[in-house]
Structure 1
Amino acid sequence: MPDQALCLDPASSAGVTLVGAGPGDPDLITIAGLKALLGADVVVTDRLVSHELLARLAPDVELIDVAKFPRSRFTAQEDINAVLLDRARAGKRVVRLKGGDSHVFGRGFEEVLHLQQAGVPVRVIPGLSSSISVPALAGIPVTHRGVVHDFTVVSGHVPPRHPDSLVNWDALAASRGTIVLMMAVQNAAAIAQTLIDGGRDAGQSAAIVVDGSLASERVIRTTLGQLGKSIETEKVRPPAIILIGDVAGL
């Protein structure tokens, strides 16, 4: 049964709350996020959300899985929007539960806009983004005094030079900051070569954190030049965070 001390007021109005569940460990959801989750009538969840967290829901809560698997089962964003709208208009308290933070490569703001345009009340409870929390848990700071003063979080779901890419890879290659790659396992080798071609040292430190914050977590230390080979040799599969920069060698 849910912890009654954490539940929302049962009289709270219907609508949708976007909750970031954090990087995976169920203890890393925020208190506000847990309150919203345990007060929900309907939970619409992604694949990276902890099963332990979902197990805390009351038996009468409607749980809707809208997981997107790479190159596999896929729920269209339009269908997710329709589900959120339908349940909210039925007077339900809906929680849209996403791994990490809903606004960091999570399409959260698309859902906010859709609901606002339909006149449905919506609020956002941020979550710990895996882009910074996973490296920290693995012992890698994204910044460190005297080493690096900036970091850039990049989606690697499309390769460099692809027509759909919005990333300025030349600028990243020329920078001295830490690069944090998300959703980049498939394109990591191409990204690494592009950064090297742009001026990054092939011997620069890199790290791959697989299943960050979970009991199955692995940290693979490598170099930028060996990144693609390390992913292949270590049989890396998503989810994984890739870090490129001097902090990865600390």
Structure 2
Amino acid sequence: MDFGVKGKVVIVTGGATGIGHAIAKTFHEEGAVVVINGRDKAKLDAAAAAIGANAYGVVADLLTAQGAETLAKEAAALGPVAFLVNNIGVFDVNDFFEVSDARWMEYFNHNIMTAVRITRLLMKDMLARNEGSVAFISSEAGIRSIGNMVPYSVTKTAMLGLSRSLAELTRGTKVRVNSYMPGTTATESVAGYFEGLAKEQGKTVEEALRDFYRDVQPSNLTQTLIDPAMHGRGVIQLMTNTAMNGVCHRADGGTIRSIFG
């Protein structure tokens, strides 16, 4: 299927690893010019090489306004940015009563403000050109609030609100803004979490995963971690479907018991 992205510029923030890397790879396979960002040049160069010949790594820290400006400028040198995937995010398991104000602000800066900074720069140009698509990578935790991941859940819920609010600014144009909610995915960070959990509990990783789905996500219909490549396919479909604007696409393995999304 031709998604119509050949030769077009896409930015995938935090695209060096995990879900972002899978999304970047899918766009590249479909012929897009892919730009990813990060803070470590060596890792970025390796990630871009793994994605393909038309992938570029830009050293830019979106925790700062200057970093966002650098990324926007470097990407624009390759052509108008047609697609923006806001993928940067952090998560950890924590005790709500022990999370400091400073840590809360770190969550908001990583999970919300990185997306605000780069979208603020690029979306105005998209509206002026009357062309463009923005996606926010949220999480099932944005709806299925998690008690031992409160800051993560709250910021991912906020991202859903941000996405829908920005979609309201596109009325009558060919610019679209949507969000995407992946479930628990077999990324490097998630694998590390389950490895640590298994060691702590004296189990194999397979046993830890089995117990996770039995005790924590019994409603999950697939009962397995999601292949990141599936999110690459899901996001490119969402971002190129002109009938979808202001929506949230759920790809959580059926964990959330809802007929919507």
TM range (shorter): 0.3 to 0.5
Greater helix percent: which structure? Answer: 2
TM-score (structure 2 length as normaliser): 0.35
Q: TM-score, normalised by structure 1?
A: 0.36
Higher strand share: 1
Greater Rg, structure 1 or structure 2? Answer: 1
